[in-house]
Structure 1
Amino acid sequence: MDLGYARVSTADQVLDAQIAALTGAGVDPSRIYTDRISGAKAERPGLAELMRSLRPGDVVVVYRLDRLGRSLLDLLDLVRRIEAAGAGLRSLHETLDTTTPTGRLLFHLFGAIAEFERGLVRERTMAGLAAARVRGAKPGRKSALTAEKLQLVRVLWADPTVPVVHIVKEFRVSRRTLYRELGPRTAHNSDGGCDADS
């Protein structure tokens, strides 16, 4: 059985053209699931209902692939879930059909390209971080403490009579930020016991 899926990004857009294309391709109008929501949203009620309705031998029909997935990786994940249910995918615009050997081959190629791209991004990120470290930069989130505040905190941090709780409240930072900037504080503090970062 064919199950259709149509999506528009906002509530004021219309689904008519997609629905007409799906019914023209033989999909029963009562079997068309719709969403009026951005593809970037993880929760799409219509799509979730369609996925729950899938049975072995069914085919999900979409007007265009971008109506189904918000990215290549998202699309590949959805196709894997569709195939795991024993169903297939057909896109009218791209004339792609995963129930055929050619369609399955194309999707495996898409998957290989996406994995390759993921690897390139990972390599570029690691190379960028390494280059930043060589230049003396500290990659990551910018410190919540300015240079002036950090100087004051160092003075208080060195005084074991000043509770960490007091420093945290005064400078509106977390203990984690203090430990990251200043290292463990091993002296006993007045806010209760040893404050070592253990």
Structure 2
Amino acid sequence: MLIGYVRSAEAAAPDAAAEVDVLVAAGCEKIIQETTSGGRWDHPQFSRMTEELRPEDVVVVSRLDCVAVALVDLIYTIDKIAKRGASFRSISEGIDISGKMGKQVMQIIQAFAGFERAQLKLRMTKGQKDARARGAGGGRSPKLSPAQQKEIVDMLAAGRSGADLARLFRVHRATISRLASKAHSADIAKKANVR
């Protein structure tokens, strides 16, 4: 069975209606419409459709951007369909993964995705190295300033509870526990150096 898939931000969008027309003209017997943005990671209609796919089914889209915003997403999507024994076809790009040619097309797409991942990793590594050279440590900035941290340690020493301080400073109780543990370790190291 040919199953058409359309994804748009709004169900009544003019481009969604045009895509449905293209899929009907391509012979799709069933059309699944998703009304979520492409940037979201969860697409419930698509997930439901892939769970119900049978080996003789073919998922048809009018354009690749209906199922993926990046090459890595496309690989994941096609792989999910292929694992159900079904095929995938994109009308605009002329991609059809059924048969031997489809497997070769899939290998080419996977090669490009691997290249894209390698380039992304290279750019991230270079960006982190450049940031460290500029003095930026990277990572998330601390929720509490050094003065707040010292105040919390002093208040703990004075007998205030961790839960009370977590509410007061609007942090998770684990943050207070880590500060207490760090202060305790520093205190032990200080006493060890005095002797």
Which TM-score band (shorter chain)? Answer: 0.7 to 0.9
Q: TM-score, normalised by structure 2?
A: 0.76
What is the CA distance between 1:164 and its match in structure 2?
A: 5.7
CA distance in structure 2 between the aligned counterparts of 1:156 and 1:35, rounded to whole angstroms = 50
Alignment of 1:70-89 (within 5 A): 70-89=69-88
Say whether 1:151 aligns with 2:151: no
1:110 aligns with 2:109: yes
Which residue of 154, 170, 173 corresponds with 2:171? 173
1:143 to 1:44, Cα distance in 2 relative to 1, 3 A: same
CA contact (8 A) 1:2 1:60 kept: yes
Change (3 A) 1:163 1:138: farther
Which is worse superposed, 36-45 or 164-173?
A: 164-173
Give the TM-score normalised by the residue count of structure 1: 0.75
Secondary structure at the counterpart of residue 4 of structure 1? strand
Task: Give the fraction of aligned pairs with identical amino acids, expressed as a percent.
Answer: 31
Q: How many aligned positions are there?
A: 182
Using the alignment, how far apart are the partners of 2:140 and 2:23 within structure 1? 47
Are 1:123 and 2:122 an aligned pair?
Answer: yes
2:183 is paired with a residue whose SS is coil
- Comparing 119-128 with 106-115, greater Cα deviation is found at 119-128
Q: Does 1:2 align with 2:5?
A: no
Partners of 2:120 and 2:64 in 1: how far apart? Answer: 24
Question: 1:32-88 CA distances to partner (integer Å, 9 max, x unpaired)?
Answer: 211222122333333233212311122111111111223322221111111111111
Contact 1:6–1:34 under 8 Å retained in 2 = yes
Aligned partners of 2:149 and 2:179 also within 8 Å: no
Per-residue deviation, 1:136:
4.0
For residue 20 of structure 2, what is the aligned residue in structure 1?
19
Amino acid at match of 1:161: A
CA contact (8 A) 2:153 2:179 kept: no
Which residue identity lines up with residue 63 of structure 2 in the other structure? R
What is the RMSD of the two structures over their aligned residues, measured on CA atoms? 2.8
Rounded to whole Å, the distance in 2 between the matches of 1:74 and 1:97 is 17
Cα distance in 2, alignment partners of residues 162 and 119 from structure 1: 52
* Residue in 2 that maps onto 1:64: 63
1:185 aligned counterpart, secondary structure? helix
* Whole-angstrom distance in 2 between the partners of 1:154 and 1:182: 10
Q: Distance in 2 between matches of 1:8 and 1:133?
A: 41
- Measured in 1, the distance between the counterparts of 2:26 and 2:12 equals 25
CA distance in 2, matches of 1:161, 1:11: 60
**Kept after mapping to 2: 8 A contact 1:154/1:182:** no
What code does the residue aligned with 1:4 have? G
Distance 1:57 1:120 in 2: 37
Q: SS of 2:7's equivalent?
A: strand
- Runs of at least 5 residues in structure 1 that lack an aligned partner in the other structure: 188-198
Q: Partner letter of residue 154 of structure 1?
A: K
The whole-number CA distance in structure 2 between the counterparts of 1:163 and 1:132 is: 39
